[in-house]
Amino acid sequence: MAEKSPPNHRWSVTIDDFVRFLVAKTGDAKCPACGNGQWTILGSGETNHAYRVNTSLRDGGATKALNTFAIFCDECGYAREHLSRIVKLWVEQNPGPEQLELDDLDDLDGTDSDER
């Protein structure tokens, strides 16, 4: 086997990672407002978050920035956000296909493999 990537190899996540996160964590979850099952993802493939919210804290601490990914319901517009840092934690534990070894990818379509 080839060397493994260190857990913190990637310091940011992408929209593609967010999509994988959504499928794994929320599956085909319906909109809590109207019950529709069709969602649109906000943000482009290049960004590592869809929103950045700056907010003060209740204890008077310094303003804190929260990065989130977001989707909205195609039927009623209900918007849902997921903190980027939670998505990032999941991605670190569930690396995407681009992080797997190439020979593993060769085995995935193995029905016509020369070696069998």
Residues that bind Zn ion (CB under 5 A): 31, 33-34, 36, 73, 75-76, 78
In a 3-state reduction of DSSP, which class is residue 79? strand
To Zn ion, the closest distance from the beta carbon of 69 in angstroms equals 18
Residue closer to Zn ion, measured from CB, 37 or 97: 37
To Zn ion, the closest distance from the beta carbon of 18 in angstroms equals 19
Could you tell me the CA-to-CA distances from 74 to 59, 99, 102, 113 in Å, in that order? 37, 32, 37, 43
Residue closer to Zn ion, measured from CB, 34 or 53: 34
Residue closer to Zn ion, measured from CB, 24 or 76: 76
- Output b/e per residue, 68-103; b: 16+ Cβ within 10 A: bbbbbbeeeeeebbbebeebbebbbeebeeeeeeee
**Among all chains, which residue has been given the structure tokens 């260190």?**
6
Residue closer to Zn ion, measured from CB, 4 or 30: 30
To Zn ion, the closest distance from the beta carbon of 30 in angstroms equals 8
Residues 6+ apart with CB under 8 A from 93: none
To Zn ion, the closest distance from the beta carbon of 54 in angstroms equals 27
